[in-house]
Copies of this chain bind each other. A is one copy, B any other.
Amino acid sequence: MTATGRFFEDFNVGDGFESETYTIDREASLAFAKAYDPQPFHLDEEAAAASLFGKLVCSGWQTTAITMRLLVDSLVLGGTGIIGTGIDELRWTAPVAPGDTLRLRAELVEKRAWPGNKPRGILRFRFETVNQDDIVVMTQCANCIVPKRGP
What's the number of copies of this chain in the assembled complex? Answer: 2
Q: Is the interface of A mostly helix, strand, loop or mixed?
A: mixed
Whether, in the assembled complex, A135 has its beta carbon less than 8 Å from a beta carbon of chain B, the answer is: no
Q: B37 and A28: CB pair below 8 A?
A: no
Q: Which range holds the interface residue count of chain A? A: 20 to 34
Contact check, B86 vs A88: say whether CB atoms are below 8 A apart: no
CB of A12 within 8 A of chain B?
no
Known: A39-B72, A61-B65. 13 other contacts (CB 8 A): A28-B35, A32-B65, A35-B69, A36-B69, A37-B68, A39-B81, A40-B81, A51-B81, A61-B64, A61-B68, A86-B89, A88-B88, A88-B89
Interface residues of A (CB under 8 A from B): 28, 32, 35-41, 51-52, 59-62, 64-66, 68-69, 72, 81-92, 145
